[in-house]
Chains A and B, each alone.
Chain A
């Protein structure tokens, strides 16, 4: 059986890719994609810990499903916001959407 650490390394790598995407990309949609990657990295962690821990406890799987649902909703809202911003300001560059400043 593949040791747990492999899953964790995979998860950490995926999280890092997502984090880099969030911090480095300019396009708001790409940032959203980065966020999705980070969420899924977490999901991997949850499922992995469930599988290597007490299998009779369902919490890990349940959390993962909740995260899916939340992520789907979040993407839907996020995309809608981005489209709305694009229509008004004609841009999807995150740095240019800086209305909430001092």
Chain B
């Protein structure tokens, strides 16, 4: 099989699995997860073969694996559908395939496969536990998710969307995959749809990303009208880029390239939850944990960053756009990190951390660090998926403890209810520690250190000092809140009975953790810069490989002791302070950083509520419904009705009734009746009278005839 054919086939198993599960196997939970994982496995296998062939192909950047067919006819050209594997999409495909497969396997354990059905479980609500009798005494255990098959159907569709997006060679099919994921994220966040908070979060996520998507679609439309093509390889030719860079637009004096780049970037702001459209992502934690990992690590948010990295040749044409991108990214990185410090929900901390790390990538891209952004995208996907799955494992263990004590008041996601879990859940602890250290950028060992270091070097090397300092502060906070999380969750002694009875999760959940932690460490080593510490190491494989995607190989930022020093100080300092401050904290009241403004996420939800949501509701309820619809439109219709009725009744009263009814109708009837009454009297029944009348008439006629004939 040629590589191109194989690439075409990669996204197909998950979509087939989706239809199979929805149509046929949804009654059988074991068959459903077998189908879904089998499909993910097939895609994974295809992706690995393609990846191996890709790294074995010299000059892949110049001659990528590409194949396209005509899809939709337009006036004189075709919109094409096609696949493209160049170095960038190869590495993205690599991490997507791995994380997706791991998340699928993890979901089996997370949704309690093999456990009994719950006592009072209801579709649309998380399982509440089942009572089992063992050796004569009853106790409560975790129960299986009622909508188990449905979950696997959704994540299969989600995987299809992501693979389509990664493999597509044009913006149109990329956008299709993008929107499929948008739909799936809505369905999955609202998976437990009987919870009002999940429903609201689903709607919020869908609406917020929709804002970005509309702008992105505008950008795509503008790009198509300007160049006549949406294919990456056709856009990124010297001529086309030159035209786009020189054509000016009426908006802010930007060039066409700048405006298109900005519009596409707004799409990313929505999808990758950058400020100011970040608000949906923390609420998306209402979904099941594998969904969080899918949305926040492997797929959807990465898709946003992947898209801007993909469009980098276009974006980099306009310095204004690049400045905006760098600013938004750096600001988001710091802003989200400050919020993460004050969150108590284990998943919410990670959600804000994700926003912050995505900000890093965006900021890196804004400073022109193409490779660094891609590098951090990949490493972040691995360690953040690991952290999310780890947090899911923790919650799962805590839920076990909650069921054991029967005290459902205890929030299984609140870190202040945990503590000391390292002894109860050792695999989860060690893998979480690896993920957390990678996120913090623990020096030399972890992947996060190398990718973050490269971003720092680029920002420093290109002279973006403001970005560099902002990111450094954010990195300090990142290490701080990560250590806070680890300390509160795993270290110390259990703070509740539930934490004492927490239990390690089944192998289906711990296996993905172990696999992902291998990447969370090892993947960083492929991107060690060649001049690190002033040594002469072999050239960074990742830089050489991904850098070749661009027409001109980007320069690696030079090694700097200042950067390395900063990197070390913020990572180690943050970790140390995080441990120092929180090692003895027992309750939220002792936590000095529970500042209301941070706790309440800088009041962005409240501000948006006042600025956008309330006016929108007012607009729809009062302006549109009450004034426009009920007032103007209904008013006009009612007026029209009244006028018509009055015209009708006038005609009826002054024309129909007197003229038609009385005069013509009743009048002729009366005349006829009156005449008939009079005339009928001549029918006397007397034969001789008739004959006499006949005689008279005949005589009269004869006389008349005689008279007339004589005249003639």
Contact = CB atoms under 8 A, between A and B. Distances in A.
A41 to B, nearest CB: 15
B688 A95 contact: yes
B686 A94 contact: yes
Contacts of A102: 680-681, 683-685
B316 to A, nearest CB: 112
B686 A98 contact: yes
B688 A99 contact: no
A67 interface: no
A23 interface: yes
A101 interface: yes
Contact of A22 (B681, B683, B684, B691): B691
B685 A98 contact: yes
Contacts of A101: 683-686
Interface string B681-712: 10111111001100100000000000000000
| Most chain B CB within a 10 A radius of its CB, from A31, A97, A102 | A102
A69 interface: no
B695 A23 contact: yes
A27 to B, nearest CB: 11
The prevalent SS among residues of B at the interface is helix
Interface residues of A, number: 12
Contacts of B691: 22-23
A23 B685 contact: no
Nearest to B679: A102
A24 to B, nearest CB: 8
Contacts of B683: 100-102
Contact of B685 (A19, A22, A31, A100): A100
Nearest to B682: A102
A16 B559 CA distance: 154
Contacts of B685: 97-102
Contacts of A97: 685, 687
Nearest to A25: B688
B27 to A, nearest CB: 88
A99 B687 CA distance: 10
Contacts of B687: 31, 94, 97
> How many interface residues does chain B have, given as a range?
10 to 19
Contacts of B692: 23
A22 B680 CA distance: 24
B688 A22 contact: yes
A95 B686 contact: yes
B676 to A, nearest CB: 10
A100 B687 CA distance: 9
Contact of B695 (A19, A94, A99, A100): A19
B692 to A, nearest CB: 6
A23 B681 CA distance: 20
Nearest to B692: A23
B688 A94 contact: yes
Interface in A18-77: 19, 22-23, 31
A73 to B, nearest CB: 19
Interface string B509-538: 000000000000000000000000000000
Contacts of A100: 683, 685
Nearest to A22: B691
Contacts of B680: 102
A23 B684 contact: no
A22 B695 CA distance: 12
A31 B688 CA distance: 9
A22 B694 CA distance: 13
A34 to B, nearest CB: 10
A23 B687 CA distance: 9
A98 B692 CA distance: 16
A101 B681 CA distance: 8
A29 B124 CA distance: 109
Nearest to B677: A102
A98 B683 CA distance: 10
Contacts of B681: 102
Nearest to A101: B685
Interface in B656-686: 680-681, 683-686
A23 B688 contact: yes
B66 to A, nearest CB: 106
Interface in B329-372: none
B682 to A, nearest CB: 9
A97 B690 CA distance: 13
B18 to A, nearest CB: 91
Contacts of B684: 98, 101-102
Nearest to B676: A102
B310 to A, nearest CB: 105
A98 B681 CA distance: 13
Given A101-B686, A102-B680, A102-B684, 9 more contacts: A22-B688, A23-B688, A23-B692, A94-B686, A98-B684, A101-B683, A101-B685, A102-B681, A102-B685
20 contacts: A22-B688, A23-B691, A23-B695, A31-B687, A31-B688, A94-B686, A94-B687, A94-B688, A97-B687, A98-B684, A98-B685, A98-B686, A100-B685, A101-B683, A101-B684, A101-B685, A101-B686, A102-B681, A102-B683, A102-B685
Interface of A: 19, 22-23, 31, 94-95, 97-102
Q: Which 9 A-B pairs have the closest CB atoms?
A: A101-B685, A98-B685, A102-B680, A100-B685, A102-B683, A98-B686, A101-B684, A95-B686, A101-B683
